[in-house]
């Protein structure tokens, strides 16, 4: 048994020595401010089916994320528009990207996790 382990360990060392080096990808994750409600939100109304939080209200923020992998970018969610009443971000996503040196045409992928229908109803991503 010990001889088998020794052979396996030696083989692993040899293979590790001849394995090609792996180069890590250039990756980054950046949070973007995509809106904030004007007033704190009652937690029970949105997050508890048992109303366990009493009168607790919290100030929410809406985040979007820029994900960089080598030379490709993905924008995870797009946030609220600059004209959205009561929740509009202070700086547009396009302007935030410009501050990071990224042009909108460099975004290869966009992930939409929420959307709202024009009639004001909520849709489901899927």
Tell me: the pLDDT tens digits for 77-119? 998 889 999 899 999 999 999 999 999 999 999 999 876 665 5
Q: pLDDT tens digits for 26-71?
A: 999 999 999 998 889 888 877 888 989 999 999 988 999 999 999 9
Provide the pLDDT confidence category of residue 125 given band limits of 50, 70 and 90: very low
Provide the domain count of the chain: 1
6 pLDDT higher than 60: no
Instruction: Compute the chain's Rg from CA coordinates.
Output: 24
Inside any domain, residue 63: yes
pTM, rounded to two decimals:
0.66
Q: Is residue 100 included in any domain, yes or no?
A: yes
Residue 123 lies in a domain: no
Domain enclosing residue 70, as ranges: 23-111
**Domain for residue 31, yes or no?**
yes
Does residue 89 sit within a domain? yes
Residue 90 falls inside a structural domain? yes
Residue 32: other Cβ atoms inside 10 A: 22
Listed as own residue / partner, the contacts of 82-89 with beta carbons closer than 8 Å and 24 or more positions apart are 84/35, 86/37, 86/38, 87/35, 87/36, 87/37, 87/38, 87/62, 88/35, 89/33, 89/34, 89/35, 89/36, 89/62
Tell me if 28 is assigned to some domain: yes
In a domain, 30, yes or no: yes
**Residue 111 corresponds to which tokens in the numbers above?**
């992930």
CA distance 73 to 68: 5
Enumerate residues 6+ apart whose C-beta is below 8 A from 109: 72, 73, 74, 75
């Amino acid at each position: 048994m010990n001889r088998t382990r020794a052979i396996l360990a030696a083989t692993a060392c040899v293979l590790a020595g001849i394995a090609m080096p792996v180069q890590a990808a250039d990756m980054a994750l950046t949070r973007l401010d995509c809106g904030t409600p004007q007033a704190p939100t009652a937690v029970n109304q949105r997050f508890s089916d048992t109303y366990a939080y009493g009168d607790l209200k919290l100030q929410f923020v809406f985040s979007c994320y820029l994900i960089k992998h080598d030379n490709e970018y993905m924008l995870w969610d797009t946030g609220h528009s600059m004209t959205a009443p009561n929740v509009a971000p202070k700086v547009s996503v396009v302007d935030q990207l410009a501050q990071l040196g990224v042009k909108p045409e460099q975004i290869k992928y966009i992930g939409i996790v929420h959307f709202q229908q024009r009639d004001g109803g909520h849709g489901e991503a899927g």
